């Protein structure tokens, strides 16, 4: 249901989906009169601009055969678009000159044996279409039980659909750059992850924050939902458990219809020299930083391939990939492995329109009241080694970069936003967010 565009950086105008699966809707679409009754005009003119005059009906969906189901869906969408285009052409002479045509794609898809899928430019629009559809099917069923339902003739429908007043209802502000996108963020309850979530939400994105279950994740969801409403959801995810990763992706797709951006931010650290590094500690970091990255990246890639609308992956890497630190070998080496996986993913996924990029921050201590989990682990050792307190350590890292600036979680979030909004035709790249560290320059 994503409309193609002529913009090579944004080749699809995606939609958000809201499912409508209730006993009443199932009874309707599975009834003998369901198809004929569904393909009648809407109840009121207000519904035209939200759901189109008619839904799309998919005959005998082959749910057990994904390839066949895709073929059926593509043909049904093609037929629907052709019929809508012909409808507009028949009445084009009566269209007010200042109005432009709506796209020809359906807003509602009725699926026997399943229910309905309702589409919109964002979750609000899709939810409106869902609520209208539920009401429309219920009223039509009641009317049909008493006699027959008859809608307005086509010329009157067109006149109402392409009325200046109706179009004015859809006017307003320009869409934010990520209004039609869905992002999933791992390790979202920490400093960098929460800043990324905020930045994406402020730019219109629908964001699923994921992390280990607990108060940190619940608190973040509550805080963000208060500000951004239904464009926020939380899903518990353990990146070391492939089933947990799959369940989280499934929950996001069930809620909004797909995933367009995966931000791989989950990671842990440990401080130890190589000589004293406990092997089990190293394996713990390897499971989270390497296997976790691979598991989430692979799950995202599978969904991107099924969706066939491209996608983006952004890995939150580290300056330690290019400039490792003593007594930080487990972290530096496992993050370097994750970084290399992302570079390989950029090679493998480009052919399906997926871009994979990395951001490499340094010394991000907090975001508001949220402290960095990494620095909670690393900070005490670094302070002891340099005889500094927490404030002094932050000043030390500020002074060591070329710009003499503090690097914040907000800075990292803006780097992620740069890649998420596709400002340049770039994949496989690393963007340092470190204030300028000559020994950490990607090369």
Print burial letters for 218-257: b (CB count within 10 Å at least 16), e (below 16).
eebbebbeeebebbbbbbebbbbebebbbebbebbbebbb
**Residues 57, 59, 64, CA angle at the centre, nearest 5°?**
120
> What torsion, rounded to 10 degrees, do the Cα atoms 3, 4, 5, 10 define?
90
- Which residue pairs from 255-258 have beta carbons closer than 8 angstroms and sit at least 24 positions apart in sequence? 255/208, 256/16, 256/17, 256/18, 256/123, 256/182, 256/206, 257/15, 257/16, 257/17, 257/18, 257/117, 257/119, 257/126, 257/182, 258/14, 258/17, 258/182, 258/303, 258/307, 258/309
Strand 16-20 with 115-120, pairing: antiparallel
Contacts of 298 (CB under 8 A, 6+ apart): none
DSSP string spanning 372-430? PHHHHHHHHHHHHHHT--HHHHHHHHHHHSTT-----HHHHHHHHHHHHTT-SS--S-E
Please identify which residue in the block is written with the tokens 């839904």: 55
C-beta atoms surrounding 122 within 10 Å: 21
The answer to whether residue 331 is catalytic is: yes
CA dist 70 and 13 (Å) reads: 19
Tokens in use for 376?
Answer: 């909670």
Catalytic residue chosen out of the listed positions 80, 331, 396, 397: 331
Residues labelled catalytic? 331
């Amino acid at each position: 249901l994503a409309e193609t565009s002529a913009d090579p950086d944004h080749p699809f105008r995606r939609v958000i989906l809201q499912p409508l699966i209730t006993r009443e809707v199932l009874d309707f679409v599975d009834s003998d009169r369901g198809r004929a009754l569904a393909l009648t005009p809407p109840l009121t003119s207000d519904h035209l601009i939200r759901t189109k005059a008619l839904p799309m009906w998919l005959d005998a969906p082959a749910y057990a055969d994904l390839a066949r189901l895709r073929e059926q869906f593509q043909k049904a969408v093609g037929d629907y678009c052709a019929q809508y285009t012909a409808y507009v052409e028949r009445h084009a002479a009566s269209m007010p000159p200042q109005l432009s045509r709506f796209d020809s794609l359906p807003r509602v898809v009725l699926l026997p044996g399943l229910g309905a899928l309702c589409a919109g430019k964002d979750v609000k629009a899709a939810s409106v279409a869902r609520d209208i559809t539920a009401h429309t099917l219920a009223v039509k069923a009641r009317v049909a039980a008493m006699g027959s339902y008859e809608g307005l003739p086509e010329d009157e429908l067109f006149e109402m659909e392409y009325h200046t007043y109706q179009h004015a209802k859809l006017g307003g502000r320009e869409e934010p750059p990520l209004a039609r996108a869905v992002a999933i963020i791992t390790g979202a309850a920490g400093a960098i992850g929460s800043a990324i979530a905020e930045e994406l939400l402020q730019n219109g994105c629908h964001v699923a924050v994921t992390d280990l279950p607990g108060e940190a994740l619940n608190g973040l969801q509550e805080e963000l939902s208060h500000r951004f409403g239904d464009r926020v959801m939380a899903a518990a995810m353990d990146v070391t458990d492939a089933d947990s990763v799959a369940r989280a992706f499934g929950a996001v797709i069930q809620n909004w219809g797909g995933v367009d951006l995966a931000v791989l931010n989950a990671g842990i650290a440990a401080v130890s020299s190589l000589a004293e590094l406990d092997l089990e500690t190293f394996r713990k970091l390897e499971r989270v930083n390497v296997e976790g990255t691979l598991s989430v990246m692979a799950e995202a890639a599978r969904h991107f391939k099924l969706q066939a609308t491209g996608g983006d992956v952004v890995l939150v890497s580290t300056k330690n990939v290019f400039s490792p630190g003593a007594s930080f070998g487990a972290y530096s080496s496992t993050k370097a492995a994750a970084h290399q996986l992302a570079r390989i993913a950029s090679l493998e996924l480009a052919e399906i329109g997926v871009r994979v990029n990395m951001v490499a921050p340094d010394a991000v201590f907090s975001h508001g009241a949220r402290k960095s989990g990494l620095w909670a682990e690393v900070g005490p050792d670094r302070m002891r080694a340099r005889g500094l307190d927490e404030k002094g350590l932050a000043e030390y890292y500020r002074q060591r970069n070329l710009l003499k600036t503090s690097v914040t979680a907000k800075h990292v979030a803006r780097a992620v936003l740069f890649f998420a909004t596709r400002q340049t035709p770039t994949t496989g790249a690393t963007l340092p967010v470190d204030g300028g560290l000559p020994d950490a320059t990607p090369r």
